[in-house]
Amino acid sequence: MTLEPFGARLRHAMDTRGPLCVGIDPHASLLTSWGLNDDIAGLERFTRTVVEALADRVAVLKPQSAFFERFGSRGIAVLEKAVEESRAAGALVLMDAKRGDIGSTMGAYAATYLDKESPLFSDAVTVSPYLGFGSLRPALDAAAVSGAGVFVLALTSNPEGAEVQRATAADGRSLAQVMLDHMAAENEGAAPLGSVGAVVGATLGDAGVDLAINGPLLAPGIGAQGATPADLPAVFGDAVGNVVPSVSRGVLRHGPDASGLREAAERFADEVRAAVSGN
């Protein structure tokens, strides 16, 4: 049975649980700060704690696949369990994998994260369009079939991204704007929100692009990277109501105590609500 489209599910989750995405990023330094070893046992304990603390209350959990992949098959097994348990508790799972390839290889990535029969099936996945937006077609089509979403890199929070993303296309648009315009076309007519989102860093100041894509805008960079919820209106303008701020270390550093994680997540969600509403 096909799920309700991701955009509709995300809109409901943000309205009921608060507009916040919390990353599950088991950095070696975070494991150490929690008093855990940088091994599979530490990874399991860290991940289980975050999921048990937050999956029943935040809108989105975003595991960073690389931090699980580094442990090989045992790390992937931990990731599979985290995805399953997070979704069972009501959180939407955004797999932060940033996959980008062409043809059958992109199709294989799509099958990994966007096919409901896959053990890593997620509500959405991050992808890179810089082999050409058309290279994402297998993922876009797979997401449409399963009711999942796709978040496409547009203007990222790392300074190096500008040399590609701010480059000018032949028609004078920035490459980021070209990608955003493709996303808008994919989302045309969707309500209440399209299922193709953009990744736009919260640290950018004035984004300088048209963000009216009728889809969600994942905003990394809040917390440890220096942005705050109060910065969101300046970056996103009229599209701020569709922003999904992403916080990782800003919440995770409050572990390993579950109550500390919950309080930090609740505080960020409250700050985002206030910033978006203008109160």
Task: In whole angstroms, give the CA distance from residue 15 to residue 238.
Answer: 18
Distances (CA, A) of 80 to 10, 77, 190, 234, 245: 21, 5, 30, 37, 24
Q: Of the residues 62, 81, 98, 116, which is catalytic?
A: 98
Identify whether 98 is a catalytic site residue. yes
- Spatial separation of the C-alpha atoms in residues 146 and 216, rounded to whole Å: 18
CA angle 79, 75, 62 (to 5 degrees): 35
Strand extents, DSSP E, 146-248:
149-155, 196-200, 217-219, 243-247
**Residues annotated catalytic, as ranges:** 98
